[in-house]
Amino acid sequence: MFKKEYLKNIPLNFQWQTTPLQIYSLSFLSSHFKLPMPVLQKDYNFLFYIREGSFINRIDNKLYECTADSIIFISTHTVSSLQKIPGSLKGYFILIEEETMSQLFNQQDLMNVFFIDPILKLESAESNWIYSICRLLSTELEISLPNMQISSNLVQALLNKILHLSKNRRSISRTQQIAIQFKQSVHEHYKFERAISFYAENLAVSSNYLNRCVKTVFNKSCKEIITEVAILNSQILLADFTKSISEISFQLKFEDPSYFTRLFKNFTGLTPSEYRKKLMHDLS
């Protein structure tokens, strides 16, 4: 779906990788992205390593400028959308399937350090190290029969390096950890669980304490986060033009379509119908 819906004019002879680890040159992909992309929620993890250039990426409901010599980590369930690439872009895009990630690495460690700020700036020597590993990984995965043990070891080294650099610069407080775990849990359960007490019980804290942690870290209440996640995911469903707005409203367990429409407009500034028209225009 990603290749069909969000990339354009791909050469017919281009060889897509089929392994659970994949790596592609950003200088190639950047010239084929359909921008701005509709919001996506992926069932895999991915890394952008930017060597030169920059791009604007939306993660959840916030825009980030991702500049040269930086790493961007986006985990499964995170809602994101590539918005703009101002000029030429060099670096690598690495895809890691969820099952492979769990075998290679403790994903929660990375999510803790990247969930609040998904961008890690690199010093020149650090960027050179990352670039060398990416080149080796690309060389291995582009051959006809790649050695997956070598590829896995390279990715594992890369992830460990990123985590090491992140932990040296970002200490995670107890308040931040609770807020992060809450938001991750909302992405998993928002469709059927809207009560703050459900998430507080899962985290073994009181609802009031949970709300204070979330407000401190995200400057939003738990209720606002839960609603925002539901609206973000409704944007993904709106990209399926075969579904009516009423169907999407009921699928996401909103009380009625008019209530869903009011919430959607409060968060996005557009009604679902207006958003869908804009989406159709952007994809045309």
Instruction: Output DSSP code: residue 31.
Output: T
Instruction: Output DSSP code: residue 209.
Output: H
Domain segments of the chain as ranges = 2-169, 174-283
Homologous superfamily assigned to 2-169: Regulatory protein AraC (2.60.120.280)
The pLDDT score that the predictor gives to residue 3 is 64
In this structure, CATH architecture of domain 174-283? Orthogonal Bundle (1.10)
Res. 5 pLDDT band, cuts 50 70 90: low
Q: What is the CB neighbour count within 10 angstroms for residue 2? A: 11
Indicate the pairing of strand 40-41 with strand 119-121: unpaired
pLDDT for 149 beyond 70: yes
Output the six-digit token pair for 37: 């992309």
pLDDT, one tens digit per residue, over 44-56 is 888 999 999 999 9
Highest mean pLDDT among 14-18, 104-108, 155-159: 155-159
Q: Residue 135 — φ and ψ, nearest 5°?
A: -65, -45
CA dist., res. 77 & res. 214, Å (int): 19
The one-letter code for the residue type at 91 is G
pTM more than 0.75: yes
pLDDT, one tens digit per residue, over 54-94 is 999 998 888 999 999 999 998 887 888 899 999 999 999 99
